[in-house]
């Protein structure tokens, strides 16, 4: 109880008073037995022997409790010393981690500078006049750098119409046709006496209108295809930009 409580604890005070009372009672009984000369000394010897055994037990228990008290006291002192040591160890650990972070950042900086110096040295040793520096890390472009497809489509359209007109002009040169009498008069020395109209002028006009219609429809289809290709190209670019 002395290990668990202080001397002012009620249970400790009560136990001490009980022990004191028992000791006084034991002393009184021993005195009464000594004064009583009419009785035989055998009971006194037996009582003394029992009391001696009980005292030996109590003394052994007291010695064991004393050893436990000293052991616990030493453990308390050891734990108190560790209580003061733990904050110191934590502070040292924090300082070591901070120093490690600083040294690591310096090491990485020196390593990058070393790699840059090695690259520059290799470029100088190669004998080429190429000097380069890594300004920023490479990155994936969000849209293609080329070719300029819309410009290509316009050039193809112009080239197509130009080729058609050129072929038509070349064909007309192989089979020339005169539409007026003045043209015939300008290229020959013979006088033009008269002009005779075509007998199937309506059929010729109808065929010419049909040809003009076919030319207009084919040209419109080509222009529509051109517009559709440009719209598809613009739509694909917009979708790709939205994805990236």
Between CA 53 and CA 58 the distance in angstroms is 9
Read off the pLDDT of residues 205-236 as tens digits, 9 standing for 90 and up. Answer: 888 889 899 989 988 998 999 899 888 888 87
Asked if pLDDT for residue 201 goes beyond 50, the answer is: yes
Identify the band that residue 42 occupies on the pLDDT scale cut at 50, 70 and 90. very low
Between CA 188 and CA 178 the distance in angstroms is 12
pLDDT score of 135: 67
For the ranges 61-65, 105-109, 193-197, 221-225, the lowest mean pLDDT is seen at: 193-197
Identify the band that residue 142 occupies on the pLDDT scale cut at 50, 70 and 90. low
Taking residues 122-130, what's their average pLDDT?
A: 61
Between CA 230 and CA 223 the distance in angstroms is 11
Between CA 215 and CA 232 the distance in angstroms is 26
Q: Is 130 helix (H, G, I), strand (E, B) or coil?
A: coil
DSSP assigned state of 8: T
Asked if pLDDT for residue 158 goes beyond 80, the answer is: yes
Between CA 134 and CA 123 the distance in angstroms is 13
Tally: H helices and E strands in the chain: 5, 0
Identify whether the C-beta of residue 44 lies closer than 8 Å to the C-beta of residue 34: yes
pTM of full prediction above 0.75: no
| Other CB atoms within 10 Å distance of the CB of residue 153 | 16
Asked if pLDDT for residue 198 goes beyond 70, the answer is: no
Identify whether the C-beta of residue 3 lies closer than 8 Å to the C-beta of residue 70: no
Identify whether the C-beta of residue 179 lies closer than 8 Å to the C-beta of residue 187: no
For the ranges 59-63, 139-143, 153-157, the lowest mean pLDDT is seen at: 139-143
Read off the pLDDT of residues 66-84 as tens digits, 9 standing for 90 and up. Answer: 888 888 888 888 877 777 7
Asked if pLDDT for residue 174 goes beyond 60, the answer is: yes
């Amino acid at each position: 109880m002395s290990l668990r409580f202080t001397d002012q604890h009620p249970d400790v005070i009560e136990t001490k008073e009980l022990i004191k009372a028992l000791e006084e009672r034991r002393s009184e009984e021993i005195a009464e037995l000594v004064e009583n000369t009419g009785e035989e000394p055998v009971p006194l010897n037996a009582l003394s022997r029992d009391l001696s055994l009980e005292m030996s037990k109590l003394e052994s228990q007291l010695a064991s409790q004393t050893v436990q008290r000293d052991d616990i006291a030493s453990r308390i002192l050891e734990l108190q010393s560790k209580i003061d040591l733990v904050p110191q160890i934590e502070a040292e650990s924090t300082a070591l981690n901070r120093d490690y972070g600083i040294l690591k950042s310096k090491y990485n900086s020196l390593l990058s500078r070393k790699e840059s110096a090695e690259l520059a040295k290799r470029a100088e040793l190669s004998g080429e006049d190429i000097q380069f520096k890594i300004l920023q890390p490479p990155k994936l472009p969000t849209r293609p750098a080329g070719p300029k497809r819309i410009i290509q489509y316009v050039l193809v359209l112009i080239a197509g119409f130009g080729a058609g007109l050129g072929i038509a002009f070349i064909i007309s040169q192989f089979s020339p046709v005169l539409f007026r009498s003045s043209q015939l008069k300008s290229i020959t020395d013979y006088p033009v006496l008269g002009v005779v109209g075509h007998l199937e002028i309506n059929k010729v006009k109808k065929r010419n209108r049909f040809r003009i219609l076919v030319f207009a429809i084919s040209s419109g289809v080509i222009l529509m295809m051109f517009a559709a290709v440009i719209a598809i190209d613009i739509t694909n670019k917009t979708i790709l930009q939205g994805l990236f």
